[in-house]
């Protein structure tokens, strides 16, 4: 596998790792382990960065006049990346709610 397919699968894999980490962060916060939630959020962010890097390369190539073939695989990769970003926002908000609940129980 090379070229565009490899880039797409890098984005997909990184996005999946990010979503898993963000879900793990919510699970940790639900248990009251906010340190682990923070670690998982950081891990998710690192995965997101790994996915954004090859995506940014595609954008830079296109900006330089080198067209990228649009395929269903690329659309899927971008969809997965957007989904991971939405999970991040959801995780941040949910962890905030769990923190408020934990403070109220003290």
- Enumerate the domain spans of the chain: 3-105
pLDDT digits (tens, 9 = 90+) for 43-101: 999 999 999 999 998 889 889 998 888 899 999 999 999 999 999 999 999 999 999 99
**Which residues are known binding-site members for Mg(2+)?**
79
CATH topology of domain 3-105: Methane Monooxygenase Hydroxylase; Chain G, domain 1 (1.20.58)
Residue 24's pLDDT band (boundaries 50, 70, 90)?
very high
Active site residue 55: no
**Which residues are known binding-site members?**
79
Spatial contact of 30 and 40, defined as CB atoms under 8 Å apart: no
Residue 1's pLDDT band (boundaries 50, 70, 90)?
low
Torsions phi, psi for 35 (to 5 deg): -70, -45
Identify the active-site residue in 30, 39, 52, 76: 76
**Residues counted in the chain:** 106
Neighbours of 49 (CB within 10 A): 11
Torsions phi, psi for 76 (to 5 deg): -60, -45
Round to whole Å and give the CA distance between 7 and 94: 31
> Does this model's pTM top 0.85?
yes
């Amino acid at each position: 596998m090379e070229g565009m397919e490899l880039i797409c699968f890098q984005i997909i894999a990184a996005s999946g790792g990010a979503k898993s980490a963000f879900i793990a962060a919510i699970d940790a916060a639900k248990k009251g382990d906010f340190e682990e939630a923070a670690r998982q959020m950081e891990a998710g962010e690192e995965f997101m960065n790994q996915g954004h890097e090859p995506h940014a390369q595609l954008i830079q190539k296109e900006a330089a006049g080198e067209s990228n073939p649009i395929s269903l695989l690329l659309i899927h990769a971008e969809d997965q990346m957007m989904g991971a970003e939405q999970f991040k926002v959801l995780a941040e908000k949910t962890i905030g709610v769990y923190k408020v609940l934990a403070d109220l129980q003290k």
